[in-house]
Structure 1
Amino acid sequence: MELKKNQDLELKRNSVLYFSIGMATVLLLAYVALEWKTYYPKTDWDVAELNKIDELVEEPPITFQELKLPPPKIQTPPVIEIIDDEEDLEETVIESNEPDQDTEIANIEDIAVIKDPIDEVIPFAVIENVPVFPGCENESDKRACFQEMMQKHIRRNFKYPENAIDMNLEGRVHLQFTIQKDGSIAELKMRGPHKVLETEAARIISKLPKMTPGKQRGNPVKVPFSIPITFRLQ
């Protein structure tokens, strides 16, 4: 015999209705909680509505002051001075400095011409007349002859320092010197990898002969010249 459930005792029969009632109740409680407002209790008296006692109100006394007018100013009449008539003054005539047909024309030889200043130091690459190395007097290209004679002078006087050989020193020494107005060598500057190599390079430059100085517009000037000397062990 099969057991049958009683429909009146079925718990899930009205579950949707109960869920809807519960949801509506929760939403109602949430709305009431959000819209709930509280106020501070009102006091029984208001400060602005207090009645003041008239006896405590003091009225300032009314005073009267008499204003005194300033004394009138007495103005003295102006003093009129009679000045004698001025003597007749001669007008000064300013002569014009503009030339006219009567102006005498000066000779061109009498006009002094200011020459442009010449710099005392002119680079080797732009100087008009380069310094002349001894032996290059009759050469047409004295600039190329100067550089060739410098290379010959370095090769002829080159000597590898013994200290540099012991220390296995190699490198290039950059030299810069100035050929003075009298053809002598001065203002030597050096930059190299070691002091020993710089000393040997200075010794080679010190043996340069006196040269014919460079000229700019016919005037002797100082001419700087740069050249490297390479030290290499074989």
Structure 2
Amino acid sequence: MEPKKNPQKDLNRKSSMYFVFGLLLVLAMVFVALEWKTFDKIQYDDLGLNKVDASIEEDAPIYQLQVTPPPKPLVLPIEIEIIEDDNPIEETEVIAIEVTPDTEVIDPTDLKVIDEPEEVDVNWVTIEEVPVFPGCENETDKRACFNDMMQKHIRKNFRYPELAQEMGLQGRVNTQFIINKDGSIGAILKRGPHELLEAEAARILSKLPKMTPGKQRGSAVKVPFSIPITFKLQ
């Protein structure tokens, strides 16, 4: 007759579960061991517990500094200078005018109105009589003659600045000047790539001769004229 085992008392029945619990416990212990942090204990010594030897005597030398007081400011006596003024004082007398029934009324026709001529600058294109360049008095087309004479004047007086040549400066300078009522050359405006070229353009225009002034409605007027001057290195 074979002996029979009780299945409830079998020790291998729950061995796998115990193995899993044991593995989790070991893993938890390893994790805590790796993450465990310790700090060095800092020891603070109480300075108040230090005892000073009473036999030690220290005599600190005492220095007495003498401060020189600042000098007192000099107080100058106040002198009053009396200047005799022999020039008499001229006082302006203000006369009050009161209007009464006997006050004489001035007739407006007795007053003279002086008309001052208004100064008008006329454009070169719209002016009735253009300024005449010396030598163009007998020409029919005075505008074309003026332009030709301006080109001749520029070529005759043109001088390329040496410093501008050394610096390699070139370009166009836009200029404008005013022909005044008396035919003289007025303000010269210039704008170019460099001051050296602008100065040379202004010098050329300043040598323009006196012209016959332009006229609008029979009266001499100021007329602006614009012309470009080109500087080009060979």
Under a length normalisation based on structure 1, what TM-score does the superposition of the two structures give?
A: 0.49
Tell which structure's C-alpha radius of gyration is larger. 1
